[in-house]
Amino acid sequence: MQVKLLDLQAQYGPLRQEIRRVIDQLCDAQSFILGPAVESFERALARYCQTKHAIGMSSGTDALLCALMALNLGPGDEVLCPTFTFFATAGSVARLGARPVFVDIEPDTFNIDVRQAEARITPRTKAIIPVHLFGQMANMEAINALARQHQLAVIEDAAQAIGARRHGVSACASGLCGALSFFPSKNLGGFGDGGAICTNDDDFAARCRLLRTHGESPRYHHKLVGANFRLDALQAAVLEVKLKYLHGWHEGRRRNAALYDKMFAGTAVQAPRIDPANWSVYNQYCVLVPQRDQVKDRLAERGVGTAVYYPVPLHLQECFAYVGGKAGDLPVSENAARQILALPIYPELTTQQVEYVAQQVLEAVKA
């Protein structure tokens, strides 16, 4: 049996006519930059994320960058972020000349360890970026308490967590803002790059909207130095179609995760632990296994697609050598990087496919 890590064609097939119709409408109108399609999607997205505002952005990376720009962060400032995450979390900080301060993760949820974050705060710390990794929200109560105590801005990196909830509150609605990614592999994926900033802060939203169009208002009059961070109308139209189906897709991922959990219970495979306060959307289903690389190779031989998120923590990346990190500094993240393996979790998987993947993982671990 062949089981892909992700099968976007299986998602597209049932939606093909609906998506092609909105694309044709845009082509007929020849309206591609901002406009009604983007505004409509932003309204729908804000409702979904339980926020007052949603600002469409050109990518998840640009959403993080724009949010940091809106805070006027720059040289001399420090931003706390986990070391075990996608590069953009810290890369956006570094692009503004600010300094990423890397923090270890919790061993079971893979999210930022708030106690260790507190120990790394200095007078230069201006913000914290909790990453809701793999679709599970970080401990936002503890993070917000820490932020209030030290007057830090909280930017949720929710690139993998649209629709995730903690104590009933949606990702993006707990901090100052949340940054979303609509990269095609995400639970809500477009036909290319795209992202959004969601926030309940009116002034912050207005500043982000200004920054995404070169700080321009009115035309050719620039209040700020921004950039071109606009979400394409084509992406917005496609995403609004898909948004209607997102909750059902989340339920499919959760159903598959529950089956994996059952099959891995009591074995050498460490399944992800979901905090009881959280409702995870399982952007990834990542397990920890011994001899990960050998297991990955064996699974490939048996037709099972897998991936490693992430093989090198950010504090050990060459481009961040100036921060001074070394092996052994953040051991939980380093251990996860050696053992983590992502398995197929997309909602179109059949029960037979999930069972096959789990059986192959268990056999590969025993081999």
Q: How much is the pLDDT for 85?
A: 98
Q: How much is the pLDDT for 367?
A: 72
In eight-state DSSP terms, residue 358 is H
Q: How much is the pLDDT for 53?
A: 98
Do 246-366 and 11-243 have the same topology in CATH?
A: no
Q: How much is the pLDDT for 278?
A: 98
Pairwise CA distance, residues 115 & 113, whole Å: 6
- What's the CATH architecture for 246-366? Alpha-Beta Complex (3.90)
Q: Which residues contact residue 205 at a Cβ distance below 8 angstroms, ignoring those fewer than 6 apart?
A: 52, 53, 55, 197, 199
Q: Within the chain, how many helices (H) and strands (E) appear? A: 12, 12
Q: In this structure, what token pair is assigned to residue 19?
A: 């998506």
3-state secondary structure of 237: helix
Q: How much is the pLDDT for 115?
A: 97
Q: Would you list the domain boundaries of the chain?
A: 11-243, 246-366
Q: In this structure, what token pair is assigned to residue 224?
A: 């700020």
Counting Cα atoms < 13 Å in the Cβ hemisphere of 309 gives 18
| pLDDT by 10s per residue, the chain, length 367 | 999 999 999 999 999 999 999 999 999 999 999 999 999 999 999 999 999 999 999 999 999 999 999 999 999 999 999 999 999 999 999 999 999 999 999 999 999 999 999 999 999 999 999 999 999 999 999 999 999 999 999 999 999 999 999 999 999 999 999 999 999 999 999 999 999 999 999 999 999 999 999 999 999 999 999 999 999 999 999 999 999 999 999 999 999 999 999 999 999 999 999 999 999 999 999 999 999 999 999 999 999 999 999 999 999 999 999 999 999 999 999 999 999 999 999 999 999 999 999 999 999 999 7
54 contacts 196 by C-beta, under 8 angstroms: yes
Q: How much is the pLDDT for 262?
A: 98
**pTM for the complete prediction?**
0.97
Topology of the domain covering 11-243: Aspartate Aminotransferase; domain 2 (3.40.640)
My answer on whether omega of the bond before 282 falls inside 30° of 0, hence cis, is no
| Alpha-carbon distance values, 144 to 83, 101, 151, 155 (Å) | 20, 18, 10, 10
In sequence order, what are the beta bridge partners of 56? Answer: 196
